[in-house]
Amino acid sequence: MNRSLFIRNCRPYDLVATERTVDILVTEGAISKIGRFEVGNRRCQVFDAGDRLIIPGLIDIHVHGAGGGDTSHGSIEALQKVSTTLARKGITSFLATTITRPEIENRHLRIAGELVGQDLGGANLIGLHLEGPFISSQRRGGIPLTGIEQPSRDTLDFLIEITQGTVRMMTIAPEVDGASDIIPDLVKQGIVASLGHSDADYNETQQGIAAGISHVTHLFNAMRPIHHREPGPVPAILEAPNVTVQLISDGIHLHEKMVRYIYEQFGGGRCVCISDGMLSMGLPDGIYSYYGQEFKTEGGAARYSDGTLIGTTCSLYELMHRFMGFVGCSLPEALDTVTKNPARVLNIDNRKGTIEVGRDADLVVLDDDYTVWATIVNGRIVYKG
């Protein structure tokens, strides 16, 4: 059955200065026409944007949970909560991020893998991001020791099998024994090898990049810092122009001046804003539980009782706005860090990340105060404020 959506009177974000409105025709989930036109007798749903701004749907490549649901819960209901909550926040695609959980035989990985590409009622689950298990115990942050293993091909093969080949990204510490053999295997499997939760020094980082690391998990967080006598991983990452970096631009995980420093040093094209969002995203501040351990959310940050920072409750859309304020860039430049850039990292920029004919109709309509007014995923309206 032909499924069409006619979006009338919207202002593409990159044409703001002209105040020009256009119409967008969506056919079978993809943008088929952009301009000023009428659909005639074509049978389709008409959606009037009321001269509002329209932007590409946001892509969060590092989010654990939202709306009370978390990937680690291992249930359809949990991922539905994540999907619908993210859609309300303008996110149209996400990587379900989690760790390995041998105590439950990694059932959550099997369930998440089965749900990739399925209709969850909101944002598209486009794959998994495994934060580990081949990471440094010294830089594990909020990841329990049970979620850490020695790198091995047998373990990697098991993870790929149980997730039905849906792993799109793996955070790995290149200095851990055996990691140098695993990184090329990740690349061969089409999995983004991302440096993170790592105590790698400058040389070990260079070696990891040479082996195939092309991305960095939450830059500066859970890694060795810069020191004038021991440069650590960041200068080595900076010197590798093809390596992109994740930022949690909340002003908490990274000071706002560090966000600006990263933007100035790396350039906007290498920056990918992420949420590292917790199950408490979209919920009031309070006490919640993560892997059986209580944490408190306050002011957008989630911390264990010992003060360990484990994530954020800010949505990616909010973090994009904070990024824009911290670095002083334009809206289109800030949007690139949550649309074009993550799409390029995942090699799906031929389908997502921009508003163009032939691209997936993942779109967000903004109200006059720049809040999310409507979210469209694959040509279907999944949220209307």
DSSP labels, 158-219: HHHHHTTT-EEEEEE-TTSTTHHHHHHHHHHTT-EEEE-SB---HHHHHHHHHHT--EESST
The answer to whether residues 155 and 130 touch, using CB atoms and an 8 Å cutoff, is no
Helices vs. strands in the chain: H and E counts, helices first: 10, 21
Kindly state the DSSP code that residue 140 receives in the 8-state scheme.
-
Handedness of CA 149, 155, 159, 162 (dihedral sign): negative
Kindly state the DSSP code that residue 147 receives in the 8-state scheme.
G
The answer to whether residues 111 and 71 touch, using CB atoms and an 8 Å cutoff, is no
Other residues' Cβ atoms within 10 Å of the Cβ of residue 357? 12
Question: 276, 336, 360, 362: which one is catalytic?
Answer: 276
In angstroms, the CA 143 to CA 343 distance is: 27
In angstroms, the CA 263 to CA 272 distance is: 10
Give yes or no: 177 in active site: no
| SS3 assignment, position 73 | helix
The answer to whether residues 104 and 74 touch, using CB atoms and an 8 Å cutoff, is yes
Which residue in 376, 334, 289, 384 sits closest to 54, CA to CA?
Answer: 376
Residues catalogued as catalytic: 276
